[in-house]
Amino acid sequence: MPWEKSFDLDDAVDCAIEVFWAKGFEATSMADLVDRMGIHKGSLYNAFGSKKELFKRALLKYDQDNRQTTLATLEGVDDAVAAISKLFDAVIAQSTDGSREKGCLLVNTALEHPNHDLDVREIVDTALGDFEAFFKRRIKRGQLRGVIPKSINANQTAKSLLALVVGLRVLSRGSFGASQLRAIKNGALRLLTEAVEPTPKS
Nearest distance in Å: CB 62, its own copies: 16
CA angle 35, 39, 41 (to 5 degrees): 80
186 touching its own copies, by CB under 8 A: yes
Give the CA-trace dihedral at 96, 97, 101, 102, to 10 degrees: -110
Task: Give the one residue of 102, 137, 140, 141 binding its own copies; rule: CB under 8 A.
Answer: 102
Q: Is 200 in the site for its own copies (CB under 8 A)?
A: yes
Q: Which of 191, 188, 180, 187 is nearest to 95 (CA)?
A: 180
Q: Closest separation between CB of residue 38 and its own copies, Å?
A: 24
Task: For its own copies, give the closer residue by CB, 35 or 194.
Answer: 194
**Residue 86 in 3-state DSSP?**
helix
The DSSP annotation for 114-166 comes to GGS-HHHHHHHHHHHHHHHHHHHHHHHHHHHHTSS-TTS-HHHHHHHHHHHHH
**Nearest residue (CB) to its own copies, 58 versus 192:** 192
Tell me the torsion sign for CA atoms 76, 73, 178, 142. Answer: negative
> Is residue 19 at the binding interface for its own copies, with CB under 8 A as the rule?
no
Assess 175 for contact with its own copies (CB under 8 A): yes
Q: Is 146 in the site for its own copies (CB under 8 A)?
A: yes
Query: Residue 196: which of 161, 151, 155 has the closest Cα?
Result: 151
By CB under 8 A, is residue 157 in contact with its own copies? yes
Told to check if 98 binds its own copies by CB under 8 A, we report no
Contact footprint for its own copies (CB under 8 A): 23-24, 26-27, 81, 101-103, 107-108, 110-115, 121, 124-125, 128-129, 145-149, 153, 155-157, 159-168, 170-171, 173-176, 180, 183-184, 186-188, 190-201
